[in-house]
Amino acid sequence: MPTTKSLYGRRLPGYAIATAIVLTASIGLAFFYAPIEADQGFSQKIFYIHVPLAIVTLGGFIFGGIFGIQYLRSGDTRHDLRSYTAIHQGLIFCIGALITGSIWGKAAWGQWWVWDEPTLVSFLIVFLLYCTYQPLRFSIEDPERQARYAAVFAVVAGAFVPINFIAVRLASPLIHPRVLSSSGDSLPGDMRIAFYSALVGVTLLFITICKYEMSSKHSRAQLAALRRSLGGDGDEPAAARSAAPRIALK
């Protein structure tokens, strides 16, 4: 008998409220507290959303890989669901980072796409690689094998990200603004507060959306299980082929 309590949705309202508060505050800080940047003017404000999106994207891909390793080690399908969700949402955030980067490029350099901008080019390559995650999952029918192969992909792609950044950076001159240098003095104090609050806000948004997706998938699996237990076996049509992980209810 499936349990009626969703494990994933428990902390969702708390995360959603925290996200709304921190994101609103960070937008307020970015527009009304942080000073206008002397060199680039108002267009630099997009940096408060572009850079957090990019950082959170990479974080999502790295966690996708870590959950992939955990799935391969344990065979626990919950890790597969976490890996899938992190990569799925990471891909969406990656599109956001590419679009905002492109807009910033237009404002700063007058072009929608700049090839000698290594970070943006690296993001495009990483995006192209992670775009194959869903087709790969979709083309494997057996859920167990799908999860295993997707985990292998997540680990390989996770290791690919840093070597790709090294290769692209070596191949192009540096013009990307280094907002967080190792000395940490490239960002004035009031800009730094606005930036870090935006980073926390976007991270919370990512976690909230991931939790939402996982709880939605979990609820749907519970609903299907309840339907099956009411209608008896064989009444439900066979599950359609899907890229999403199949959830095994205890």
Partner 1 sequence: MSAARPPSVLSATRAVLYKELTLERRAPQTLTAMALFCASAFVIFHFALGRNEVEGALAAGVLWVTLALAALLGIGRSFVADREEGGLDGFLLAPAPRTALLVAKATTLLIFLLIIGFFASVIFSVLLLGPTPNASQWASLALLIVLADLGIALVGTLIAGIAIQTRARDLITSILALPLLIPLLIAVTKASEPLLTVGGGTLAWRWLALLGLYDLIFGLLAYALFDYLVED
Please give the residues from 54 up to 73 whose contact with partner 1 meets the rule CB under 8 A.
72
Q: Could you tell me the smallest distance in angstroms from the CB atom of residue 129 to partner 1?
A: 4
**Nearer Cβ to partner 1 (1/170):** 170
Q: Could you tell me the smallest distance in angstroms from the CB atom of residue 168 to partner 1?
A: 7
When asked if residue 174 is in the footprint of partner 1 (CB under 8 A), the reply is no
* Interface region with partner 1, contact rule CB under 8 A, candidates 5-13, 26-34, 89-97, 137-145: 137-145
When asked if residue 204 is in the footprint of partner 1 (CB under 8 A), the reply is no
- Structure-block tokens of residue 132: 């194959």
**Nearer Cβ to partner 1 (3/139):** 139
When asked if residue 74 is in the footprint of partner 1 (CB under 8 A), the reply is no
Half-sphere exposure of 67 (CA within 13 A, CB side): 20
- Pattern 18-57, partner 1, x by CB under 8 A: ----------------------------------------
When asked if residue 153 is in the footprint of partner 1 (CB under 8 A), the reply is yes
When asked if residue 244 is in the footprint of partner 1 (CB under 8 A), the reply is no
Separation between Cα atoms, residue 195 and residue 187, nearest integer Å: 9
Q: Could you tell me the smallest distance in angstroms from the CB atom of residue 118 to partner 1?
A: 11
- Binding residues for partner 1 (CB under 8 A): 72, 125, 128-129, 131-132, 135-136, 139-141, 145, 148-149, 151-153, 155-156, 159-160, 163-164, 166-168, 170-171
